[in-house]
Amino acid sequence: MQINKRDLIKLFRRDISEHLVHLTRKNYDLSAKKVLLKIMYNGKLIGGNGFIKSKDRCICFSEAPITEIAMLLKANEATFDSNSRPRYEPYGVVVPKEWFYQKGGCPVIYQSGSDYHYLSREIRYKHVRFELNNNIDFTWEREWRLKADELILDPKQVTFIVNKSEDIHDLQYGHFSNMKYAVAVLGDDAHQYIERFPWKIISLDILQN
């Protein structure tokens, strides 16, 4: 059977990934792990516009291969000082690239700030400033965006990543604790909310061994 050119390129290039990753970070009084638990419990990602010039609400992912996430986190540490709120932490959501593309997600456009106004209003959310002469370069993030208020997560398509193996138990325990709370509050009606743990989880420490 003949291998097509696209599959051949993927075979020999470690930087090509069939998946995208969305890394979480601490949010006010919630740690990055608790933010991930909240995403898991709600079954969706909420759009934001914190780093988006057009101020459209977007769901953001990185095309960096899962095996290279550790390097992405190191790059993040080198970019932000210790007094800053971390942009990324070792907890996140992984989805197939094709699935995200079918939802409307696509790569961002890295370009100078002066080029922003040449984009039509409909695609300005894709703009990311790129100016080497001003030492502005975020191409290492290999970012993808979906313009949306929220993204419903499909357990069949999603894998959660955590920092250490013991985090897997913490997330599962937190999930079932929420289920127990539903029983206490809803009583006999709670059965419709109780379900087996539906999510796949992997830890970065296993990947690095």
**Can you tell me whether residue 40 is helix, strand or coil?**
helix
Tell me what pLDDT residue 187 has. Answer: 52
Tell me what pLDDT residue 180 has. Answer: 52
- Describe the crossing of helices 165-186 and 32-42 by its angle, rounded to 10 degrees: 50
- Cα–Cα separations (whole angstroms), residue 29 to 20, 33, 89, 161, 205: 27, 12, 15, 21, 26
Q: pLDDT category, 81, cuts 50, 70, 90?
A: low
CA atoms within 13 A on the CB side of 205: 7
Among 67-71, 92-96, 119-123, the range scoring the smallest mean pLDDT is 67-71
pLDDT in tens, 27-53: 878 888 889 988 988 999 999 998 999
Please say if the pLDDT value at position 163 is more than 90. Answer: no
pLDDT in tens, 85-119: 556 788 999 999 999 999 999 999 999 999 999 99
List the domain boundaries for the chain: 14-163
Sign of CA dihedral 143, 48, 72, 6: negative
Q: pLDDT category, 185, cuts 50, 70, 90?
A: very low
Return mean pLDDT, the chain: 82
Whole-number percent of the chain with pLDDT over 90: 45
| CB burial readout 178-209, b (16+ within 10 A) else e | eeeebeeeeeeeeeeeeeeeebebebbeeeee
Beta-bridge partner residues of 107: 144
